[in-house]
């Protein structure tokens, strides 16, 4: 039986004992949980060109509209630098992030991030 994907989290589950790819699938699950499930704090949400950054592993951003380079097509996603490349997740309604450079909490509402609540 092939694994299934849980629709809310995108995590794979229900491998049969000894099924091929369970190890890589579980590794991907654990990375996804580590990157996005505990809390999300992004450094900035109005940048468009990641080539101007010198990111450290774990740095997290929300690419602005019309982003280019490695962020092309990832507008409003959440991207995390893993030390070698950018990894992205498409937000779902209700995701909450802290935006460090603005000192606000922002909520994703169906197709856009809210302006934010100062804290």
Q: Tokens 């409003």 belong to which residue?
A: 76
Q: What is the DSSP letter of 75?
A: T
Give pLDDT, residue 12: 73
**How does residue 75 score in pLDDT terms, banded at 50, 70 and 90?**
very high
Give pLDDT, residue 1: 61
Task: Return the closest-CA partner of residue 92 out of 72, 109, 115.
Answer: 109
CB count, 10 Å around CB of 44? 16
Q: What's the whole-model pTM score?
A: 0.76
**How does residue 32 score in pLDDT terms, banded at 50, 70 and 90?**
confident
Give the residue, 23 or 75, on which the prediction is more confident.
75
Please check whether residue 1 is in contact with residue 17, taking contact to mean a CB–CB distance below 8 angstroms.
no
Please check whether residue 104 is in contact with residue 113, taking contact to mean a CB–CB distance below 8 angstroms.
no
Please check whether residue 77 is in contact with residue 63, taking contact to mean a CB–CB distance below 8 angstroms.
yes
| Residue 106, helix vs strand vs coil | strand
């Amino acid at each position: 039986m092939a694994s299934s994907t849980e629709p809310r989290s995108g995590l794979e589950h229900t491998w049969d004992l000894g099924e091929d790819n369970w190890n890589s699938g579980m590794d991907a699950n654990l990375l996804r949980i580590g990157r996005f499930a505990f809390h999300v704090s992004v450094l900035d949400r109005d940048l468009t060109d990641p080539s101007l950054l010198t990111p450290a592993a774990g740095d997290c951003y929300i690419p602005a509209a019309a982003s280019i380079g490695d962020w092309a097509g990832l507008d409003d996603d959440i991207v995390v630098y893993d030390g070698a490349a950018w990894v992205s997740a498409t937000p779902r309604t209700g995701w909450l992030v802290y935006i460090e450079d603005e000192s606000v909490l922002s909520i994703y509402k169906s197709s856009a991030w809210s302006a934010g609540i100062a804290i």
